[in-house]
């Protein structure tokens, strides 16, 4: 039998990698129910196994504590992650945020601690790219060849353009995904949806964690035509651009 190839590279797979990482799914003792039903795995080489690079842990600490998550995410954050943070004397935090603070909300007896800081953006992008490759492999039963571009919908920014872009992409994806099924056997923790390919063969996945943390990843298969969207061209050049989607208008620059 031929050995399976890694989902990321041409090397032979040596293990199965969970996508998304298993540690994002709370254990039974914390959740009091099974949230690890049929977790997705893909064949992986040593180098592309997140466990070995501690990227899994990094991702867990980065997204489970985000405000607005459902109670599953919150429980997970206050259980396993707080234990992990205490165990490592908050060293984990240093890995997650380039500049960080621990902020407490609430009074002395009842409070939650939230992470606040500048996330390690490059590393997050890297983590979500891996998940996007893995999800593609799992869904289409083949490897993805082309260019991937993650967009982190959950990060907040004060700049004007990214804000408008975020509102725009959220609405665009909401419309395109309205009739597409949600995949995943633990919807409260994670699911994904694929859009249909556009005229250029480009399509998008929505990765949703704890029913709140949205990440959009666009896939441009190799050989696909590069789109020239006048609106985006103008936007990139800093010219005031209005893009209409449905009955809403989005202003850039
Ligand atoms: Zn590999």
Quick one: CA dihedral 234, 125, 134, 31, positive or negative? negative
- Is the per-residue pLDDT at 242 higher than 90? no
Quick one: CA dihedral 164, 165, 171, 172, positive or negative? positive
Q: pLDDT tens-digit profile of 49-73? A: 887 778 888 888 777 766 566 677 7
Ligand 1 geometric centre to CA of 220 (Å):
20
pLDDT of 205 reads 94
pLDDT of 87 reads 66
Ligand 1 geometric centre to CA of 219 (Å):
19
Q: Are 179 and 193 in contact (CB under 8 A)?
A: no
For the residues of 111-151, what is the DSSP string, one character each?
EEEEEEEEE-HHHHHHHHHHHHHHHHHHHHSS---EEEEEE
pLDDT of 108 reads 53
CA distance 198 to 195: 9
Pairing relationship of beta strands 213-221 and 203-209 according to DSSP bridges: antiparallel
pLDDT of 132 reads 97
Ligand 1 geometric centre to CA of 166 (Å):
32
The residue-averaged pLDDT of 171-199 equals 92
**247 confidence band (pLDDT: 50, 70, 90):** confident
User: Range with the lowest mean pLDDT among 32-36, 101-105, 179-183?
Assistant: 101-105
Ligand 1 geometric centre to CA of 12 (Å):
8
């Amino acid at each position: 039998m031929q050995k399976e190839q890694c989902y990321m590279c041409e090397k032979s797979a040596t293990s199965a990698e969970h996508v998304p990482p298993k540690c994002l799914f709370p254990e039974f003792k914390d959740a009091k129910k099974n949230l690890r039903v049929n977790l997705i795995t893909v064949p992986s080489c040593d180098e592309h196994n997140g466990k070995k690079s501690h990227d899994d842990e990094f991702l867990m600490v980065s997204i489970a504590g985000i405000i607005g998550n459902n109670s599953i995410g919150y429980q997970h954050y206050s259980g396993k992650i707080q234990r992990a943070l205490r165990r490592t004397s908050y060293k984990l935090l240093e890995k997650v945020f380039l500049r960080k603070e621990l902020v407490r909300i609430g009074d002395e007896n009842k409070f939650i601690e939230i992470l606040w800081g500048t996330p390690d953006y490059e590393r997050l992008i890297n983590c979500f790219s891996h998940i996007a490759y893995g999800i593609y492999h799992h869904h289409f039963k083949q490897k993805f060849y082309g260019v991937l571009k993650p967009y982190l919908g959950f990060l907040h920014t004060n700049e004007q353009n990214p804000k408008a872009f975020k509102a725009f992409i959220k609405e665009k994806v909401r419309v395109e995904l309205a009739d597409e099924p949600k995949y995943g056997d633990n919807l409260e923790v994670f699911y994904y949806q694929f859009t249909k390919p556009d005229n250029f063969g480009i399509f998008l996945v929505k990765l949703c964690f704890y029913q709140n943390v949205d990440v959009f990843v666009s896939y441009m298969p190799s050989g696909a035509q590069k789109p020239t969207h006048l609106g985006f061209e103008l936007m990139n050049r800093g010219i005031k651009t209005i893009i209409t989607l449905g009955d809403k208008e989005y202003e850039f620059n």
